[in-house]
């Protein structure tokens, strides 16, 4: 089915841009097609968002919060089908898909409370008989650029908060996951229609990088919230900064877990394995490096290799499987390239990677999670690979040495220390 790629809420534009096919990495099937938004479609969506802002900002914050509360209720109704669509379109496990929708529900619940807590300070003035007070005002149109790996939650993390604050939103989802975006827009429409929310509060434009570039350079959009690669974030940050706009950038990470000598392996192994292979290694917070004290290095290594041998790889909608596919064949090639680079730099492959073939793996996107003994200074280790490759390495002496290794990469986002001692 062909879908239109631009909407202001209830209205869908008859878009005539490039046809984008949403191909499931689960089985290689085409879910649906979307006609991308053009520059004219984008312009119309932004103008409608500006118009809607004038009315929406006049709603009381608790009234806006009530709309968001109802959206949470509606998401509870659609949790299973939306979670399943997330899983099928981008490849994460069904349980993770359900978890992502739950994160949407949770942020809505949080935003509802926030709608009654938009406080401002009051202050004494040096002028007798006077007081000063501060009051927050909505920014206007908020632009949202989201990535394929969390195709719905990131949008709602932004919109739930922006909406209770009185902002309108224009969303450019990843062109790798456009159908989940259309589903979110349709679910939102049900709630907005029931509450007579102005047309334009929830805008959607589906397309390629040209739309993201247009949003980043658009002076009518005072805030751009962008999630994606560090390369993309640098481009967005430079464009928004050049016009003195505001940006929220959530980018890549080269995350490590430090395993101290006192760590309980019953916690270490499940935590490290899920951190490394969950979402097939396609989370910004995925575990990329394990920094293990030399006293327990061999024991941890042996336990990890044993655990990886038990991982079941297959259709993510089958809850007996642990790991689904990478999102597309481009991601598969990056995974293969990274393994070759690790070998070339002297890495020791403990758990072999590779692309799975045969029945159930027809999409060509299923790969084996790999473990590589490596050095922290390897070029391939220094930079994030969005795939299930875990680099393990030793540290000696005090935990501060491990922390130095953790921090000795250009990208940081999340980290952990596993220990039974808080000294």
* Residues designated as active site: 250, 284
Sign of the four-CA dihedral 40, 46, 47, 49: positive
What the block records as the tokens of 61 is 């914050």
* Percentages of the chain per state (helix, strand, coil), in multiples of 5: 40, 20, 40
At a CB cut-off of 8 Å and minimum separation 6, what does 183 contact? 78, 82, 85, 152
What the block records as the tokens of 271 is 């935590």
Q: How many CB atoms lie within 10 A of CB 116?
A: 12
The CA distance from 181 to 159, in Å, is 13
What the block records as the tokens of 373 is 């003994």
> If DSSP codes are grouped into helix, strand and coil, which group holds residue 367?
strand
Q: Give the pairing type, strands 122-124 and 141-145.
A: unpaired
The CA distance from 275 to 292, in Å, is 15
The CA distance from 89 to 29, in Å, is 10
The CA distance from 112 to 76, in Å, is 15
Q: C-alpha distances in angstroms, 130 versus 125, 126, 127, 386?
A: 6, 8, 6, 57
Q: C-alpha distances in angstroms, 307 versus 268, 283, 304?
A: 11, 21, 5
């Amino acid at each position: 089915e062909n879908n239109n790629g631009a909407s202001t809420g209830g209205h869908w534009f008859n878009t005539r841009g490039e046809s984008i096919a949403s191909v499931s990495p689960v089985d290689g099937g085409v879910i649906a097609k979307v006609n991308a938004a053009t520059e004219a479609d984008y312009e119309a969506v932004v103008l409608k968002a500006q118009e809607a802002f004038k009315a929406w900002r006049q709603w009381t914050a608790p009234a806006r919060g009530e709309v968001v509360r109802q959206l949470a209720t509606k998401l509870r109704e659609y949790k299973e089908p939306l979670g399943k669509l997330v899983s099928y379109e981008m490849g994460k496990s069904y349980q993770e898909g359900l978890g992502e929708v739950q994160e949407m529900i949770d942020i809505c619940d949080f935003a509802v409370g926030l709608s009654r807590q938009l406080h401002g300070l009051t202050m004494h003035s040096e002028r007798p008989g006077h007081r000063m007070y501060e009051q927050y005002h909505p920014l206007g149109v908020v632009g949202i650029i989201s990535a394929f790996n969390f195709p719905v939650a990131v949008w709602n993390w932004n919109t739930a908060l922006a909406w209770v604050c009185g902002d309108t939103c224009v969303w450019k989802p990843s062109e790798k996951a456009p159908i989940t975006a259309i589903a979110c827009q349709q679910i939102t429409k049900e709630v907005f229609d029931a509450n007579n929310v102005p047309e334009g509060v929830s805008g959607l434009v589906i397309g390629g990088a040209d739309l993201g570039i247009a949003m980043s350079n658009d002076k009518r959009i005072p805030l751009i919230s962008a999630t994606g690669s560090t390369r993309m974030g640098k481009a967005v940050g430079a464009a928004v900064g050049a016009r003195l706009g505001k940006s929220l950038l959530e980018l890549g990470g080269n995350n490590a877990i430090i395993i101290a000598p006192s760590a309980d392996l019953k916690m270490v192994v499940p935590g490290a394995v899920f951190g490394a292979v969950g979402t097939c290694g396609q989370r910004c917070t995925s575990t990329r490096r394990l920094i293990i004290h030399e006293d327990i290095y061999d024991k941890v290594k042996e336990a990890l290799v044993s655990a990886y041998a038990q991982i079941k790889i297959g259709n993510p909608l089958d809850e007996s499987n642990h790991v689904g596919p990478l999102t597309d064949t481009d991601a598969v090639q990056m995974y293969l390239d990274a393994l070759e680079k690790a070998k070339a730099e002297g890495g020791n492959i403990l758990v072999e990677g590779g692309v799975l073939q045969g029945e159930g793996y027809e999409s060509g996107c299923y790969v084996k999670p790999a473990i590589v003994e490596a050095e922290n200074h390897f070029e391939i280790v220094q930079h994030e690979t969005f795939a299930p490759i875990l680099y393990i390495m030793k540290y000696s002496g005090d935990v501060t040495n491990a922390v130095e290794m953790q921090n000795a990469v250009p990208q940081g986002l999340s980290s952990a220390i596993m220990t039974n001692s808080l000294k």
